[in-house]
Structure 1
Amino acid sequence: MGALAGLALPMAIPALAAAAGRASDPLPRALLVPGGLARLPLGPSPARPRAFAPAADGSAEVPLLVLGDASAWTAVVGIPLSAAPGPASIHVETPGGAPRSLGYEIVPKQYREQRLTVEPRTVDLSPEDEARWQRERSHQAGVMATFSTPLPASLAMRVPVPGRRSSSFGLRRVFNGQARNPHSGMDIAATTGTPVLAPLAARVIDTGDYFFNGNTVWLDHGGGLLSMVCHLSAIDAQVGDAVDAGQRVGAVGATGRVTGPHLHWGVMLNRSMVDPALFLPS
């Protein structure tokens, strides 16, 4: 597995278009549901405010991605799939101003259920496989905590591979009759060997062969926005590489816990897996 690259300090970014829903809008669509995201206006400020949200496990505050310019700043907040519907809030610190809370409302969403049959060893883990998964989970927790600069000037992404969406974000997964965590990404059907492209300019922060995800590449787009591409047949990038949007980072495969060749694409914002479709053209 690749080592996690070091973190950098926040810095200012160029001005962003402010109008929501326009083709030129560089921010993803807001969807105030578990697994969605909020776009919270922070108002004007000569310097970029800092904003924080509770971690999904409630253990600490997590820095948020704040974009804009002195005339208007916006916090882009990933909402965990585990979030309960109801009121939520973020903590905002503006240079020269008093700290404040900014609230929003999470509305419920009912995701569909998907039943899959996979290799039994990937559902009922042996002691050796359980130990491996625990090691990998600890390692990836460090990867997912990455918050770096420069911040992205636009969050408009492209799909990493063309194809039919074979499984949507948020599905409640049942493997071999046993319920597991909801599906935290988008599955795209494609043949083995199809090139997988970076959805947005990024730095490669981790690669590895993981028990569930198979061959995986983690990409850091800046400001706590990460993406992962999984089940690859080949990894064509190394930790530390800077890649442009559309640059090849791997190839579609069927490694890890799968029922056939496809790409699993996950997007993480402030350590919460969110629906990749929100970052694509509507």
Structure 2
Amino acid sequence: MFSDPDVIKASRKFICVRIDSYESEENQKIVRSHLGGRFENTAFCVIAPDGKERLTRSGRGPQHIYRDFDDIVAIADRYKSRGDILNSHIPDFNSFALALNVSSADQKILLLIAGDEDEIVAAGKRIRSVVWNKNVMGRFNYDFESDSSSWTGPLSSKSKGSGFHLIRPGEFGLEGQIVMSLSLNASNSNLLKAMVVANRDYAKSTKKKIYSSHVVEGRRQGKRIEMAVPFGEDRDGDGKIDHRAGSGNRKR
């Protein structure tokens, strides 16, 4: 569903929030609140602009709410946007490791904005017009890091300096390669051009992942990712993760 061009276009009428299910107990509590106390990997609900009122029932995904996505789109038409998208904050991750892993799963280039706190705050405000440009919107993930030790380890192309780093994620999201770097003083037009080129080259050289075979290959190679909280689901809602025999860290 989410790869359908019409769904992608329609989603721009919403503020879409993706909760990182295994990054904190607080996040898991949000998921449980939508699934009657159960915890599963995903939950879906449309919420009013006040961030509280639920406009639909909750379920594992939109297909569990309405058969036709147009019915969900109709909800957005009841509300008129008052803000300017250029005032919207750029999505950020809790950690570089998570950003790299999710980018691999999404099959997107990751734009790392690295520098000291003042530098990345200023850069984040300045490049909003780039991030929300129609030529790159929705095609990248973003991560802001002020501590270089958090991101240099997994990268094959080493660079400890501040800057905009375009990163190609590895197959299992445990490593990556810097394909292009620009200084934080680079113009928005040059950054946009670099992003368009990086996305084009990545799309040409990357095959779409088939989830089932990807998981099998990850297990065969012994690939694992550390989670902030135990991996698994609590489908009976007893408050405890239902671990499978022999499970531990999540396999990719």
Higher strand share: 1
Q: From the two aligned structures, give the one with the greater helix fraction.
A: 2
TM-score, shorter chain, exceeding 0.5: no
Which TM-score applies when normalising by structure 1?
Answer: 0.24
Higher relative contact order, structure no. (Cα contacts within 8 Å, ≥ 6 residues apart) = 1
